[in-house]
A and B are shown apart, each in its own frame.
Chain A
Amino acid sequence: MASRPEVIAPPEIFYDDSEARKYTSSSRIVQIQATLSERALELLALPEDDIPKLLLDIGCGSGLSGETLTENGHHWIGLDISASMLNVALEREVEGDLLLGDMGQGLGVRPGVIDGAISISAVQWLCNADKSSHNPRLRLKAFFTSLYKCLSNGARAVFQVYPENIDQRELILNAAMHAGFAGGIVVDFPHSSKRRKEFLVLTCGQRSVNSSVSKGKNEDGESCSEEDSEDEENQTVCISDRHRPRKKQKKNNKSGKGKEWILRKKEQMRRRGNAVPQDSKYTGRKRKDRF
């Protein structure tokens, strides 16, 4: 994920047969996705009654995230826009039911029946306008509104996301809040550019998120650490005020007009319907990718 796949092609094109296979056969990716899914499941804070739950996995791909749900005894329904990814999931004989669908079109699920939802490394895709008919704002709205409806009262949704920049994070968070969710962002390993992971933790209805779970990781929780040579602090910050991440980010980005700035501008131009050159790993290259 060094150069952002989101800017290369629409998901159903990017995740073709060969990419789907490549993705799923990388032991590094398998490991990372499993760790992220475990963490998301933990943040879901399901009742500890040992009764299997009915969960959604949004952007389930080849089933790496869903497998974690199965291992923890839950039933799940996975949605993905890439037929190739779902085919790999079939080959791997995942336990969940699979649906070919576009979360940006909203979920066709009955009200109040789902006990919780996770989405691992997928929602940032909604911030792109891949077709002229796509409006990221409307697609995010359709998604979060329909998700809110199908969750049972007090249920949570946890999204691990790779927002491309501050604007994207705001865009996603605002859409969630507008749909009625309460919640905020949990950041694990905030001081490491490689291991930093963001989770959007949302609650539907009554139960409030603030108090109980949203503590981030402050111990060494990941094992994919060959890449981490710097001696970083393994801390987590938990942000329930949605304006705080902006400040934090700003501090880190003192350097001025970097790649993020360029990409953001390009994205803005794109949203206005202008023709903008494709982003590549060379775009505004100066420093290493943050995400």
Chain B
Amino acid sequence: MRLLTHNMLSSNIKGVVNGFPLRIEVEKVVEKTVEMNGEFLKKMFEKVDWKALIDASRAMGYTELPEEADSSMLDSDEFLNRFHHALLEIHLEEGALVCPETGRRFPVNKGIPNMLLHEDEV
């Protein structure tokens, strides 16, 4: 799972008011190179929750993202490269996503988060 996806997910447990962002527990990270598309990154920048992305990328061991970001930075290739890397190239392979409100763990195996809820969570 890429951080792009992590940034869009929130805990869906019944009664949870703020299920975003899911905290990341890391056991294994893998990196996969993908081609960069500046236009896509610009679009995504509007949607991404920056704070969640920094925290997630730090948890994954990547610390190159600036603390604050605004759209003017999208003109910088260096910034785009880092944003691209954080968003699309680091994958959580093994670990867990943790609901910020209830502490419920959603295990991640072979890169696939298990988001199935128990019956009393629906």
Contact residues on A (Cβ < 8 Å of other chain), bracket: 20 to 34
A90 to B1, CA, bound (A): 12
- Interface set of A (CB-CB < 8 Å, partner B): 49-52, 54, 75, 77, 79, 81, 83, 86-87, 90, 97-102, 105-110, 112-114, 131, 133, 142, 146, 150
Q: Please, which residues of chain B bring their CB within 8 A of the CB of A110?
A: 7-10, 20, 49
A109 to B9, CA, bound (A): 5
Further contacts, 9 of them, CB under 8 A, given A86-B112, A110-B10: A97-B2, A100-B112, A100-B113, A100-B114, A100-B116, A105-B122, A107-B12, A112-B47, A113-B8
Q: A99 near B47 (CB under 8 angstroms)? A: no
Measured CB to CB, the closest approach of chain A to B1, in angstroms, equals: 5
A-B contact pairs, 24 of them (CB 8 A): A54-B4, A54-B8, A75-B88, A79-B115, A83-B112, A90-B110, A90-B111, A90-B112, A97-B2, A98-B111, A99-B1, A99-B5, A100-B113, A100-B114, A100-B115, A101-B114, A102-B117, A107-B12, A110-B7, A110-B10, A110-B49, A133-B119, A133-B122, A142-B122
Q: Please, which residues of chain B bring their CB within 8 A of the CB of A105?
A: 12, 116-117, 122
Residue of A nearest to B20 (CB): A110
Q: B111 near A146 (CB under 8 angstroms)? A: no
Q: B112 near A108 (CB under 8 angstroms)? A: no
Q: B40 near A108 (CB under 8 angstroms)? A: no
Measured CB to CB, the closest approach of chain A to B68, in angstroms, equals: 21
Q: B8 near A109 (CB under 8 angstroms)? A: yes
Q: A51 near B43 (CB under 8 angstroms)? A: yes
By the criterion of a CB under 8 Å from any partner CB, how many residues of chain B are at the interface?
A: 30
Residue of A nearest to B1 (CB): A97
Q: B9 near A75 (CB under 8 angstroms)? A: no
Q: Please, which residues of chain A bring their CB within 8 A of the CB of B37?
A: 51-52
Contact residue among B9, B10, B11, B116 (Cβ-Cβ distance under 8 Å from A102): B116
Query: Is B19 an interface residue, CB under 8 A from the partner?
Result: yes
